[in-house]
Homo-oligomer: A and B are copies of this chain.
Amino acid sequence: MENNTSQDVNEMLPFILKRENVARYEDGAVHIFDRRRYPFERVFVSCPDVESVALAIETMVTQGGGPSIAAMYALAMEANRLSHRPADEIRAGLQAATTRLIHTRPTNTALARRLEAALQVANDALERQESVEAALLNWIEQRRTQSYVDYASTARYGADLISDGDGILTMCFAETAFILSLSMAWREGKRIQVFVPETRPYLQGARLTAPCIQELGIPVHLISDNMPAFVLSQGKVQKYFTAADLITLDGHVVNKIGTFQNAIAAHYHHVPYFAYCWGLDPHKPDRASIEVEERDASELRQCRGTPTTIAEIPAYYPAFDITPPHLVSGIITRLGVFSPFDLRNHFPL
């Protein structure tokens, strides 16, 4: 697998993780695959301007790695719209777009760092008096190609942690590197099965993770979010893997709400927990620096539009939680599997 190309990786992935199915920039609009309607429908949401991309991210049309890609394309689209304006206006317009897009999801700061890098690319092109849209699109495609190469090396480290016969617990939708790890382990003949908590209220586990794993032919069982500890107690789980929306410099893992209590339950049952990591944010040194997004409580009183209780009942909806480093057995990166306490020394900022 060491020589995986972006194309090789793409072929191993289930439908919704294939490069062309996350988000596309076509005909002057950003087309975002609607993960809210999958697996019931396979449709894209067309966003003709920055605001509609921002709203799509806020309303969870895409999630995980999707918002960064949609937001970068939104910047290219804005560059195109502003292309006949003076350089100052283009610069100001792209800055305003970046600010709007960053504010869509406060917890995962990768989106902010990606957009700030994109803004630099745009400003460099402006200085060279080149097409900003073309410079951005060229940079985005290079980044996306590189990201699939990185997915492959990261997934390789993840797959090596999986043993023949393992039961695997996950949470939410750990996306490409995790799904690719499973795909590699399975192709190598390791007999595995995966337990997927549904991940209320948005059901990313039920709607995204479980169908992706099933599409690859790997045995999978959907469970509800109150079941992981009992499944662990039955000896059905040997490894726990999740993505991470953010990992602080001192090794705290921020991920979808529920990740933390599964990590406590895994630790109680002597099952190791591994989180996938894409990079560190130098502005996030520790737990105190984390902003946990609180979403509208009304989202918790329904399930795919069906009310789960009456509207009068107050609800509380923190969207993420924080797992302290002593509950984390390893952080899986493209460079290797590191201790959360030592990550910052091995993994470049």
Binding site for B on A (CB under 8 A): 39-40, 171, 195, 197-201, 203, 206-207, 210-211, 214, 219-231, 233, 256-258, 260-262, 264-265, 268, 297, 300-301, 303-310, 312-318, 321-322
Contacts and interface: CB of A to CB of B under 8 A. Distances in A.
Contact of A200 (B224, B228, B307): B224
Given A211-B309, A308-B198, A261 B221 contact: no
A221 B316 contact: yes
A197 B200 CA distance: 11
A297 B224 CA distance: 11
Contacts of A200: 198, 200, 224-226
Given A224-B225, A231-B316, 15 more contacts: A40-B310, A171-B226, A198-B200, A198-B300, A203-B309, A206-B313, A211-B309, A211-B313, A221-B316, A224-B317, A229-B260, A233-B321, A261-B265, A265-B265, A303-B303
17 contacts: A40-B310, A171-B226, A198-B200, A200-B225, A200-B226, A201-B224, A203-B308, A206-B313, A210-B309, A211-B310, A224-B258, A225-B258, A227-B318, A261-B262, A261-B265, A304-B306, A304-B308
Copies of this protein in the assembly total 2
A332 B265 CA distance: 25
A183 to B, nearest CB: 18
Nearest to A315: B222
Interface core residue of A265, A297, A303, A306 (most chain B CB under 10 Å): A303
Contacts of A220: 313-314
B308 A303 contact: yes
B309 A306 contact: no
Contacts of A198: 200, 300, 308-309
Interface core residue of A206, A214, A306 (most chain B CB under 10 Å): A206
A231 B262 CA distance: 14
A303 B304 contact: yes
Contacts of A221: 314-316
A209 to B, nearest CB: 10
B310 A227 contact: no
Contact of A264 (B207, B268, B297): B268
Given A229-B260, A257-B224, A206 B308 contact: yes
Contacts of A222: 297, 300-301, 309, 313-316
A326 to B, nearest CB: 11
Contacts of A313: 206, 210-211, 214, 220, 222
B207 A226 contact: no
A231 B201 CA distance: 16
A226 B304 contact: no
Contacts of A211: 309-310, 313
